[in-house]
Chains A and B, each alone.
Chain A
């Protein structure tokens, strides 16, 4: 008996021990690991999309400093979005606004995006069920994205660490402490990647219905042109402001010697990009009357063309459309252009300040303060619209002189009190909507939280087919036009002027842009109307003209902010007082008194983003940008 019991107990114990050997193996096979991402085409495609997902939200008011951190648009001072906070002087080193370096405050962590791109490039060769051609194309796309993320950082921070390859997770501390590399090396690396990408990408996206928004060779070349023009611009080329900005490994980060060769490279790149784009069918957008639409005047037609060039999604002018970032048109649409339909669907809270309104040319195609025929001194005086103004300003409506006799791009780009707003459901241009924005009127303040502080609206960003219904607002979205052909044309003009000066070739593309806007060529306009007729005949004069042309053509598209920086004119341009009309007044005389909204200041240090203090503590090989 005892013996039996002994054996039993020992047996039970042993069984328990043995059966428990596998007890702790609770992990089933097929737990998702990174290897699964590259085991088949469909998951690899997800990883490709992951690489795309790091693209900055170009159309976001908070994430793209181009809108609210410059001087193109302003909002109520109580607005707390991050880009506006920069304008209000809240940039800091503790928790930088729009921190694209570490991620945070509306900025994406682009170095994480770069790591994803590198993971993709390291692993894509392993995918078994893909054709080599498709792999090449995807590699090209990811190289482009990797280049773009580096470029975005470089444009913000100047010299940056370049992440050519990923470091392993268990890299030592010394390995992970990257150095900032000289600005020229950054440019070279970005261009090299773009060249590699261009070599394998298709010239243009063939099946736009499913692939619009993906990268093609046209986009790669256009970006290369923009990168090289940026690199040739004074902020990057021969910037002698930072002699002490020497990398911790001894290299000066800026080369103080300007190089004209950089402009030459930029010009070549522009030409190359334009040639390819035109070959594959890109052209400046012009408006064709729709089926069943009554004939419209040339004025309206030009303006519709200008508006659609930006806000129409099926569009042969837009080279790179970011389908992942759509602009919030609700936040831009005035309270209503239709007095019978005022409700809370539209909040129109980002408006251009007076300065931008004054920037547009006169109807003669020259600046309003240079136009010999334009009554500059009387621009703030009240004036009643006549029959001749009827496609621009509501006939019989009293507004001010500033709004009269302006170029079409002004009427296409800016919504204002008394201004005609063609389209939006009404096809009869003699019965078009127009804006009334004085106190008590349809486009004025609806709640104190949401209204345009200046009483202007960026009309060009509103799709012409949007309709304000009785209780809702129907919006036709469009992918954000990151690069369009007019942009490329003006880059070419800029580079050509720097390389060759005001020769005929230099005027070729700027005049094309003017022509589409219904303006005469530069030389003619200046000769006939400007008080400084010889301005376009000097390199410096033409540079000024090209810069203003660019600000007008690309107004409210988030380009001017970066342009002012690379031209190194931000210190003059951005130290400005934002002004608008007095929203709280109902009669015209009182309404049209410029009200100061905000004194914007821009310091030398603001040319470069601050690196977060914590990042400097973690990596003592980094160097803070000057002034921060």
Chain B
């Protein structure tokens, strides 16, 4: 409702007016917060006027307008000649337009405030100009300014070249200008966009699309505890445009890979709720406890899951801080890099409402292919006989002969467990809505989001519950900025994020893994309740022996789990301009509390299992025999899972100083005091129940001379409660220098070609205090009631006492890790179109906490002793390149790419002094794996006898088993023969590239993402056909498992008939052959891939159409993710690496609309 008329020197508002406005905003806000009036319409704005007047006094015309509009028109007769005669013809024209046409020729302007219209004079110089132009031919130029996505841009300055005439676009991106004559040039400019010049001939409408600028002189980057201009930056901070992180997923972290120069990211699972990607800034540079970055949303530390739940539409900025200069201010917490996110705040202007709706279909990118049931049985028999000629086979030949899929599903089961339990695809919905706006005194941004993610599990018709994964995530955010006085700003941020989960009792990944461990031919998922069981209330699940086999169908159907997660955050911030003390000084205080809660509950019955009995082979009749009559239940039992509750309080107080002296010397400083307290409600032990605290003072000092030479100094002086009093505080300084070569005088001649050249270098120390899972590592921890160390005495064993055990030995020297980081960067801008940023970094991480590895058992320590002994080095480069081009005529192209290479190595690692140099960690990558070198498969038993002995486990090594190399030539294969094999498991290279192009209202974008130089291992135990396998930390309640047969193994394995020495799978076996299960090069695979991560096609409704619909913007789009992958590995999605039998990564097709009013 604020008019962006000619820019005027507004009179200061009267306090009363301000308070009224504040009250109004507050009222509006409370309504919004109640969430009851989402459709708070902006329709009443379109007040229209019809007038036909000729040579009437202005006062009369204004009266008429007053009458028609119901608005109050105010003016002062002393300044305004109300008797002047005016003419006007208007038919249903907007009020503003009518007033504009009426008043502008009179050198008057107006301001609409609620139902009041105030009329004032233009400034004298304008009036002169304006009156001059009145004499000549005038024409009205109007138009729209939009961004490359078609969204209207408000606040764009439209200036007439070589004049002082300029207007700003309104919230709908519209502008109007009166010009005389021809050959004028309009300049469109806005912060963050490439300025555009348009030469006018005699057109009256000018529509302009502004490109986002990647190197705008005024671009502001969010850095630790403040902002800096992009051109002044010395530290290494990548600012990602939030829209680049928009993927059709409810998980923000899945968008990181390949989008951010300097971030190594990958995703290992596609299960809703558990699909957080792993991401590391500049790779993993420590082998200590915490390797992932510090994540801050609006300055407050949050978890990865909180970040994952963030809505892209709510993001104002997304910064990744990489080097010491950027992170030293976080002192003891910044060594692994920092991700700093800020959320949007309200902008002054009329209420803007926008929403986004998406519906997507997801299906696994690739399913693991299994062998058919007949092959399964045949090879199962082969597996038994090939190891022991005399053993009994599991499947009689008659059964194999009769198993024609579908022939008799109960007598001769041939179960496709995956088909029984998993759907081909699922659909997910996402909706979010935001409302923002406000006046001068207060601005608000309120948003809500709802995501529904469904799993791909089938809900079988027999099931009593919805067992499919259904993850609903809700979030609500309200950010309100208030100006209390001219110098005081008060900000309230409220944010809640909530997950409601419903799913199978042990999760989706577990169902996938169970499917992989159930024989397809042993029993049917369930049997029909025939005549004799018609009174039975329960499902007759299939099983064998004593009913102790896994039946994934029963596991899925038997019950369900519900869980709930809440995160509430309330934040107050006060900003005070302290210019009255000294110019450029300001103060800021922020207090925040975060509450997290999680619980889960599962309800399930114990399934009844049946098997066939009294089978009559002639008639194929059978009876059902119950296997666990006493064990099953028809009623539900329930179990409570873990409950997590914690609360975090955070506070920061900062003084800022920023001033320019003599137009050349820019000086800025910052001092900030931070305080953090976290308390866990169910910590589990006395020491962990104590509060977690951090406290520190940080500071920054920057100086630049004439936008050419820059210097910056940062420090963090931090304390952590975890350390001994003598080690509690640490000082983490950093410094950096930069030189903008292209701003030098001598560069002028090259400026056209090399528009920007800038060199930066930084060095500093940053710490990491999250060095171990235990608290107070400096203290000893003693369990005074150790039941495992107790004893009992007496003739009736009645005198017993618990013992005392050491949980941790004291070591007061324990302190944080230190990262000595250096960074060298080159920024290059070419032809104002190409932007290149290349950075080289080195890091020396010292004081890494590690268990002292070479204390022999004879010392008798009951637990490992940790010390800050380890050291590691890392280095790498990250490069990003952007290219923007506007070909005119509505056709534009934007493309960019980035590349991250990060490698690391152990430099100090306590380990035994090995005789065999290859066993040492020193010099190896932090995620390097050791294993045996597999040469080939053994030809036969004679070959085994003539080779170095391989004594692993109990099953004798035979022909067709893997032959390892005796690296140290001692005649036997032992752990000393393990050498570093393959690449590290964390990829060394992650890259991405993509382009967006648009033509008029259409846009198309595509993004490719890849990863290189990583290795992973096919799990030889989990995939070993026919054997029983239980994952570590998995409780199957003693259930028997029998692994499925991968089709790839069925097609390529060593057999006595086909002695393929390089077959994919060695000689079959129905028991674990531990010789083949060792980590070796045999099952090592290259994790490199390149995938089409995202393709998007969008259409924005033309402006005139949206205007007619009273909308600001309307875009409809379709996109897809993970569409296609190039990789040498075919068994499952290569990005899942060793986790291939789990819940697959999803391919998503999505359609959405995005609209704003």
Contacts and interface: CB of A to CB of B under 8 A. Distances in A.
Interface of A: 2, 5-6, 9, 13, 16-17, 20, 23-28, 31-34, 36-37, 43, 45-47, 49-50, 52-53, 85, 88, 90, 92-94, 101-103, 109, 111-116, 118, 161, 163, 166-167, 169-171, 173, 176-178, 208-214, 313-314, 323-324, 447, 477, 479, 613-615, 617-620, 622
Interface string B573-606: 0000010110000010000000000000000000
Interface stretch (B168-176, B188-196, B343-351, B783-791): B783-791
A49 B789 contact: yes
B77 interface: no
A447 B776 CA distance: 52
Contact of B865 (A116, A169, A620): A169
B580 A32 contact: no
Given A46-B801, A46-B802, A109-B857, A23 B693 contact: yes
Given A34-B782, A46-B802, A613-B974, A6 B690 contact: no
A20 B675 contact: yes
Nearest to A101: B857
A33 B859 contact: no
B781 interface: yes
Nearest to A99: B857
B793 A32 contact: no
B913 A26 contact: no
B793 A212 contact: yes
Contacts of B578: 9
Contact of B581 (A5, A109, A118): A5
A479 B691 CA distance: 47
Interface in B531-587: 546, 578, 580-581, 587
Interface of B: 546, 578, 580-581, 587, 653, 673, 675, 686-687, 690-691, 693, 695, 719-721, 725, 728, 776, 779-784, 786, 788-799, 801-806, 809-811, 853-862, 865, 912-914, 951, 953-954, 974-976
A16 B793 contact: no
Contacts of B793: 210-214, 323
A24 B728 CA distance: 8
What are the nearest 7 A-B pairs in CB distance? Answer: A115-B860, A50-B803, A617-B912, A49-B791, A619-B856, A52-B791, A102-B857
B780 A163 contact: no
B776 A27 contact: yes
B693 A2 contact: no
Contacts of B784: 32, 36-37, 43, 46
A92 B791 CA distance: 32
Contacts of B786: 50
A170 B786 CA distance: 25
A151 to B, nearest CB: 16
B791 A31 contact: no
A324 B675 contact: no
Nearest to A115: B860
Nearest to B692: A26
Contacts of B782: 32-34, 36-37
B693 A24 contact: yes
Given A92-B951, A613-B975, A169 B809 contact: yes
Contacts of B859: 111, 115, 167, 171, 176, 178
Contact of B690 (A26, A36, A176, A619): A26
B711 to A, nearest CB: 27
Nearest to A120: B804
A169 B861 contact: yes
Given A85-B954, A615-B857, 19 more contacts: A9-B578, A16-B673, A24-B719, A31-B779, A32-B784, A36-B784, A46-B801, A53-B789, A53-B790, A113-B860, A169-B865, A176-B858, A211-B799, A313-B795, A613-B976, A614-B912, A615-B856, A618-B856, A618-B912
A211 B794 contact: yes
Nearest to A80: B954
B801 A33 contact: no
Given A9-B578, A23-B693, A50 B789 contact: yes
B1073 to A, nearest CB: 14
Contact of A208 (B693, B795, B858): B795
A163 B860 contact: yes
A167 B780 CA distance: 17
B779 A166 contact: no
Contact of A212 (B687, B795, B805): B795
Nearest to A180: B858
A169 B861 CA distance: 8
B1122 to A, nearest CB: 41
Contacts of B804: 34, 37, 43, 46-47, 50
Q: Which of A37, A50, A209 has the most CB of B within 10 A?
A: A50
Contact of B721 (A26, A93, A118, A213): A26
Nearest to B802: A46
B862 A112 contact: yes
Q: Which of B788, B793, B862, B912 has the most CB of A within 10 A?
A: B793
A381 to B, nearest CB: 30
Contacts of B803: 46-47, 49-50, 53
Nearest to B797: A323
A324 B794 CA distance: 10
A617 B968 CA distance: 15
A30 to B, nearest CB: 10
Given A618-B856, A619-B856, A314 B795 contact: yes
11 contacts: A5-B581, A115-B859, A163-B860, A169-B865, A209-B795, A211-B799, A323-B792, A323-B793, A614-B912, A617-B912, A618-B912
Contact of A20 (B687, B695, B953): B695
A334 B1055 CA distance: 44
A103 B857 contact: yes
Nearest to B803: A50
Q: Which of B857, B865, B912 has the most CB of A within 10 A?
A: B857
A163 B858 contact: yes
A37 to B, nearest CB: 5
B536 to A, nearest CB: 26
Contacts of B913: 620
A1 to B, nearest CB: 8
Contact of A32 (B781, B853, B862): B781
A68 B799 CA distance: 31
Contacts of B695: 20, 23-24
A6 B578 CA distance: 9
B1038 to A, nearest CB: 12
A618 B795 contact: no
Nearest to B799: A210
Contacts of A43: 784, 804
A90 B857 contact: no
Given A24-B720, A115-B861, A324 B795 contact: no
Contact of A169 (B798, B805, B811): B811
Given A9-B587, A34-B806, A163-B860, A618 B853 contact: yes
A540 B860 CA distance: 43
B796 A209 contact: yes
Contacts of A167: 859
B788 A53 contact: yes
Contacts of A109: 857, 860, 862
Nearest to A477: B797
B975 A33 contact: no
Nearest to B813: A170
Contact of B860 (A16, A28, A33, A114): A114
Contacts of B796: 209
A212 B809 CA distance: 34
A6 B673 CA distance: 18
A161 B790 contact: no
Nearest to A622: B856
Nearest to B780: A33
Contacts of B806: 34
A339 B728 CA distance: 73
B386 to A, nearest CB: 20
Contacts of B728: 24
Contacts of B719: 24
